[in-house]
Copies of this chain bind each other. A is one copy, B any other.
Amino acid sequence: MSEQKVDLSVDLGGFKLKNPVVTASGCFASGREAAEFMDLKELGAVVVKSMTIDPWPGKPTPRMAETPSGMLNAIGLQNKGVDHFLAVDLPWLVSTKVPVIASIAGNTVQEFMLVAEKLRRAPAVVAVEVNISCPNLEDRNNMFAHDAKATASVISAVTRMVDKPVFAKLSPNVTSIPSIAEAALDAGARGISLINTVMGMAIDIDTHQPKLAGVVGGLSGPAIKPIAVRAVFDVHRAFPHVPIIGMGGIMDAKDAIEFILAGATAVAVGTANFINPAVGGEISRGIESFLRTRGFRSVAAIRGQVKIEG
């Protein structure tokens, strides 16, 4: 009933977004394609596809397999490199006036540093998200995100190169997500993004071949939502003052609210864009009407408000 305005803005630890809905890296390219379906300004920010210092070719096909309520992907971080981003994608993004979060990746600490350095003075880039779910060439291809020390070394190197806020994007494929979060925060991360995809595999029973050319891939979509909500909840409980960008299987505003109740400050929408490239704006409007209907004045009012007894 009340025509009271709902405050959707969120503070991600030093920078504000006018609403809590961003895109998940790798699920929105740089926004240009989806702009045919929506006004990007309906988003809190665009998190662009992870970029590397040189172009990465990506993996052979098939790169995707549908699974129950989800999908597996093994894209191999195909991207045209940070220089292409700065020269082509970013100027276009600047023209749309949407804030940009730059996701960066690499196979060595040095590579992460080089990309970060190039972003130092990038306009419109309000934060850098560090995708540490990458194999570490200097440690037998173990993912950076699977080891607290490797996580810390990447994050501290990146924070030394850019003075923009740095978010560490964590993998759920570890024994303790909070302890990796701790390493990232100690190394200077301003906030935590989670979760990246869950490792998985599918096999074609007729050909006996893995359904992905990359054999193992990342599971995303509604199937992983409970895993993601729990990860956000655990990290928020461990570090209540740290901003979290929560993601994993968010399809609609109800899912987004669930993440915010678990402790997410903002939410990122990934796989859902593939099905509905305008979904980000719809979720943002859905959150607003959910809050208004229930008399909440702001999205901050429900953050972390899941009721736990005892």
Contact = CB atoms under 8 A, between A and B. Distances in A.
Given A200-B229, A219-B226, 4 more contacts: A68-B70, A146-B176, A207-B307, A208-B302
A230 to B, nearest CB: 4
Interface residues of A, number: 49
A208 B291 CA distance: 13
A2 interface: no
Contact of A226 (B70, B147, B205, B262): B70
A224 interface: yes
Contact of A306 (B203, B226, B258, B305): B203
Please give the count of copies of this chain that the complex contains: 2
Given A203-B262, A226-B72, A227-B219, A210 B308 contact: yes
6 contacts: A174-B175, A199-B227, A200-B229, A202-B226, A205-B254, A205-B257
Contacts of A233: 201, 216
Contacts of A20: none
Contacts of A290: 205
A205 B229 CA distance: 12
A51 interface: no
Contact of A208 (B201, B219, B307): B307
A68 B200 contact: no
B254 A229 contact: no
A223 B245 CA distance: 23
B199 A308 contact: no
A153 interface: no
Contacts of A226: 65, 67, 70, 72, 200-202, 217, 219
A69 B233 CA distance: 22
Contacts of A147: 175
A237 to B, nearest CB: 10
A90 B307 CA distance: 42
Contacts of A178: none
**Chain A to chain B: the 7 pairs with minimum beta-carbon distance, closest first:** A200-B226, A68-B222, A201-B230, A69-B69, A223-B223, A68-B69, A174-B175
